[in-house]
Amino acid sequence: MGGMGLLGAERDGVVSVAGVEVTREELAGRARAVAGRIGGARAVAVNATASVDTVAAVLGGLVAGVPVVPVPPDSGPAERGHILADSGAELLVGAPSDGEVFGLPTVPSTGSGSGAFPEPSEDATGLILYTSGTTGAPKGVMVSRAAIAADLDALAEAWAWTPDDLLVHGLPLFHVHGLVLGVLGALRVGSGLVHTGRPTPEAYAKAGGSLYFGVPTVWSRVVESGAAEALRGARLLVSGSAGLPAPVFDALAARSGHRAVERYGMTETLITVSARHDGERRPGQVGLPLRGVETRLVGEHGEDVPHDGATPGELLVRTPTVFQGYLNRPDATAESLADGWFRTGDIAAIGPDGWHRIVGRASTDLIKSGGYRIGAGEIEAALLAHPAVREAAVIGTPHPDLGEQVTAFVIADGIAETDLIDFVARDLSAHKRPRTVHFVDSLPRNALGKVQKKLLTP
């Protein structure tokens, strides 16, 4: 049908979100109804709950060629107000009661429409996704329809994702992982989709999928609960949004029979690097560039960093999936894009064979200590290799002689600080060992399970 080119042909197959099941024909009808109500709007907001309503609202925007702004349902008044004002959203698609909270005229995502809609331009903005705002107010990332289509097609190739698959996940529908990959991906490929509402081990175990998406916290809980055994009949388990600790990778492989596929991406670039369905899966590494993606590493002064698997550098990517820019922020866009290369702000090492290992964020995970450049991720992996350690986060903290020292925060049982420091020093260079270890009850995490290191204080 016209306007649905981004999503591929309509096919039979289950679409179930939080226990509510609809046919693709019903979903397409709801999308047409939404499109007929919002045509001509500058942008529309969606209260992005885990629901069929959210899926229908997003599809309606794509059919109408109106940018969709998914808003986290747990966002507070200040964050929500910023997103709505910055995006210029003129309507809210969803339940009438939501309009009272959002302060926007509301149009429903129910009903059924008919007729064809003209196909929007490939260059049209499909989604405006807001970053987490760890370094200030969230920025609106404008993602084109062409970028979405290119990324989903490249992932379908890398993962051998076909209409015969049944995708299962329970990830939030206001991020790339849950919404773009986890909903639009299934619809474009034509596979079945079961969104479990919440990513509980029990829901994953009984879904009977062939393809599963999760973040490290989800896979850790799947392992700990014993649910991993129920996933032996799956074809592929995919992990992303943060590095999968090697102990979880190994335990998941032992109990489910699957070595997880890890992948890497950002809101601004979508997914750019991944292990393949028919290739190796290496713990702590995210694989090779997807089709059409180029990568390089640069040092502090823009010099190229060798691909020797050990030397860290900032990862730059050039890809057809790169964003159109930050909404209303030409300065920030110019800072992040140069000659088509996007500065990810992530520190990585690339091996001679092209395999990528993400060390961490330049702002929080590159520690400059005594003249050495140290990646926090490498030390976290070493700590997690100790059987007493359940979670670990490493940051640099001020030191009068070294500039910065390696400081670790761990959740562990029955282990002393000196024993952990010595354990790391046995596997890594002496200058990489933590100088201080803080034992904590929990680590601050966001909705996708990423540790919020700026909230860690000694």
pLDDT at 448: 67
What would the pLDDT profile of 104-151 be if each residue is shown by its tens digit? 999 999 999 988 889 999 999 999 999 865 456 789 999 999 999 999
With a cut of 70, say whether residue 310 has pLDDT above it: yes
Judged by phi (left if over 0) then psi (alpha if -120 to 50, else beta), residue 209 lies in beta
Instruction: Specify which residues 44 forms β-bridges with.
Output: 68, 91
- Report domain 366-455's class: alpha beta
Question: Given pLDDT bands bounded at 50, 70 and 90, which one contains residue 2?
Answer: very low
- Strands of 221-293 (E only): list them: 236-239, 261-266, 270-274, 288-289
pTM of the full predicted structure? 0.84
What would the pLDDT profile of 230-244 be if each residue is shown by its tens digit? 999 999 999 998 888
| The token pair that represents 441 in the structure block | 């009850």
Please name which of 329, 199, 322, 347 lies closest in space to residue 269, comparing C-alpha atoms.
322
Q: Please tell me the least confidently modeled range out of 104-108, 212-216, 298-302.
A: 298-302
Tell me what the mean pLDDT of segment 300-312 comes to. 92
Which H/E stretch holds residue 411? strand 403-412
Interstrand relation of 15-17 and 20-22 (parallel, antiparallel or unpaired): antiparallel
Average pLDDT, the chain: 91
pLDDT at 3: 44
Distance from C-alpha of 57 to C-alpha of 108, rounded to nearest angstrom: 8
Question: Given pLDDT bands bounded at 50, 70 and 90, which one contains residue 1?
Answer: very low
Domain positions in the chain are 1-361, 366-455
Which one is predicted more confidently, 92 or 454? 92
- Report domain 1-361's class: alpha beta
pLDDT at 5: 60
pLDDT at 98: 85
